[in-house]
């Protein structure tokens, strides 16, 4: 019997999207050094600044960025608790997706290194980057789920903004650099804490529709 006709109850979660850097893996990507090498200055965001370059400048910038990403991916280490959490997500029958501003090549290197697979992978080659909602929508389509049935776990404001705009539920994985976001529906200090919330019976984050 359905308690309230499902009117007030949020949709059950069918899949979880993850940001890569700082959520799935820790990578030594020195963004200041990359910006210095590409632009000669260190302000702003790399992909957004690259959008203003001429085609030859852009090709050079992409090569520099990809070189740094490849080196970092080869040394990437899983974040604390993420491997058991991903196993638990899979065992619960939930889909798993990755939404990153990194290149597909670096993602493939990281996943091969960690022995991981995801049902959806969206990189900067596939869609406009976060904070656009488009990469999140694409990942939802790849998982075969509506945004209302998806959680997005990230550690940066662009993740929260992208997810909020896309209509998924956003989870901030707090870090020393980022303790709060007005665009986060939930905030946790570790993925184990998110697992506890998902396992709670009171519907804080419902995994299954009430019968």
- Quote the CA–CA distance of 77 and 24 in Å, as a whole number: 9
Report the nearest approach of Mg ion to the CB of residue 158 (Å): 8
What sign does the CA torsion over 136, 85, 186, 198 have?
A: positive
Q: Calculate ∠ Cα 11-86-205, nearest 5°.
A: 25
Stretch that binds Mg ion, among 9-17, 55-63, 78-86, 149-157 (CB under 5 A): 149-157
Nearest residue (CB) to Mg ion, 21 versus 145: 21
| Single residue of 13, 14, 16, 21 touching Mg ion by CB under 5 A | 21
Tokens standing for 31? 């963004």
Nearest residue (CB) to Mg ion, 61 versus 102: 102
For position 69 contacting Mg ion by CB under 5 A, the verdict is: no
Whole-number Cα distances in Å, 112 to 109, 126, 144, 163: 5, 20, 24, 26
Residue with tokens 């890569």: 20
For position 129 contacting Mg ion by CB under 5 A, the verdict is: no
Question: Is beta strand 25-26 parallel, antiparallel or unpaired with respect to 77-78?
Answer: antiparallel
| Single residue of 13, 18, 19, 152 touching Mg ion by CB under 5 A | 19
Report the nearest approach of Mg ion to the CB of residue 154 (Å): 6
Stretch that binds Mg ion, among 32-40, 50-58, 127-135, 154-162 (CB under 5 A): 154-162
């Amino acid at each position: 019997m359905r308690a309230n006709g499902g009117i007030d109850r949020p949709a059950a979660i069918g899949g979880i999207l993850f940001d890569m850097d700082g959520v799935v893996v820790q990578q030594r990507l020195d963004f200041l050094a990359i910006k210095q090498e590409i632009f000669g200055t260190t302000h702003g965001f790399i992909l957004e600044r690259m959008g203003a370059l001429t085609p030859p400048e852009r090709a050079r910038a992409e090569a520099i960025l990809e070189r740094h990403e490849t080196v970092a991916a080869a040394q990437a280490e899983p974040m604390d608790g993420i491997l058991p959490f991903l196993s638990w997500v899979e065992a619960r029958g939930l889909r798993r997706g990755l939404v990153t501003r990194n290149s597909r090549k670096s993602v493939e290197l990281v996943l091969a290194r960690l022995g991981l697979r995801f049902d959806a992978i969206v990189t900067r080659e596939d869609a406009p980057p976060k904070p656009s909602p488009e990469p999140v929508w694409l990942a939802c389509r790849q998982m075969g789920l509506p945004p209302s049935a998806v959680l997005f776990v990230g550690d940066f404001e662009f993740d929260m903004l992208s997810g909020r705009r896309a209509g998924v539920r956003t989870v901030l994985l707090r870090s020393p650099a980022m303790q709060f976001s007005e665009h986060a529906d939930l905030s946790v200090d570790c993925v184990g804490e998110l697992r506890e919330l998902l396992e709670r019976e009171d519907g804080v984050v419902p995994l299954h529709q009430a019968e």
